[in-house]
Amino acid sequence: MRIILASQSPRRRELLERMGISQFDVIPAKGEERSDPNLTPEQLVEALSRQKAAEIAADHPDALIIAADTVVAVDGSVLGKPHSREDAQDMLKRLSGREHTVYSGLTVCWQGRSVTQHEATAVRFRPLSQADIANYVSTGEPMDKAGSYGIQGYGCTLVEGITGDYYNVMGLPVCRLSAILAGFGIAPLAMAAKKEH
């Protein structure tokens, strides 16, 4: 069975390997993400992960496709990846000293069947000073991340606490993905066990 991760995110690749899935190809979806502004964050990430999966499945109909999309939401508005350093600073100011929610949509499709779900994790930031924000943006880390931070990098210094799946904040809710894969008869732990012998 061929497995394709429809994402160029190095974090998603690393998490898939951590789950025990070591043999997979990375083929990022190239299509323009189309989203309806009336969608809730949950609906949005599900719709975007479905789009990515469908695009790759069209070219690779026999492969099992795993697609994901992650956004940060605060006050009902969605924060994607920043367009500039100023944009990143503005996002971090909005997140400073308060809680926001990270949503990831997951779609797995194989053999004509498709399952889409989402995960939500609450993340609380400590109050950030102007210097905190400027220094963090200067590291360059926020520029390719939803909400302008990465919990697995220097961004860990901003996070006071989380409620929910930590890996979801990294962009791939591995526990939920394991459950979806189980529905397809695939057990990552069994793959990991086989690899160790």
- Go through the domains of the chain in sequence order and give each one's CATH number: 3-196 (3.90.950.10)
- pLDDT the model gives residue 197: 62
149-161 pLDDT, tens digit per residue, is 999 999 999 999 9
Q: What pTM, to 2 d.p., does this model score?
A: 0.92
Q: What is the average pLDDT value for the chain, to the nearest integer?
A: 94
Rounded CA separation 86/137 (Å): 9
**Tens digits of residue pLDDT in 52-89:** 999 999 999 999 999 999 999 998 889 988 999 999 99
**Predicted pLDDT at 120:** 97
What tokens does 189 get? 């732990």
Active site residue 69: yes
Q: Does the pLDDT value for residue 21 go beyond 90? A: yes
Give the 3-state secondary structure of residue 9. coil
Q: Which of 59, 69, 75, 165 is catalytic?
A: 69
Give the other-Cβ count within 10 Å of 193's Cβ: 11
Q: What is the pLDDT of residue 116?
A: 98
**Smallest Cα–Cα separation from 178: which of 169, 164, 167?**
167
Q: Where are the beta strands (DSSP E) in 75-131?
A: 77-79, 99-110, 113-125
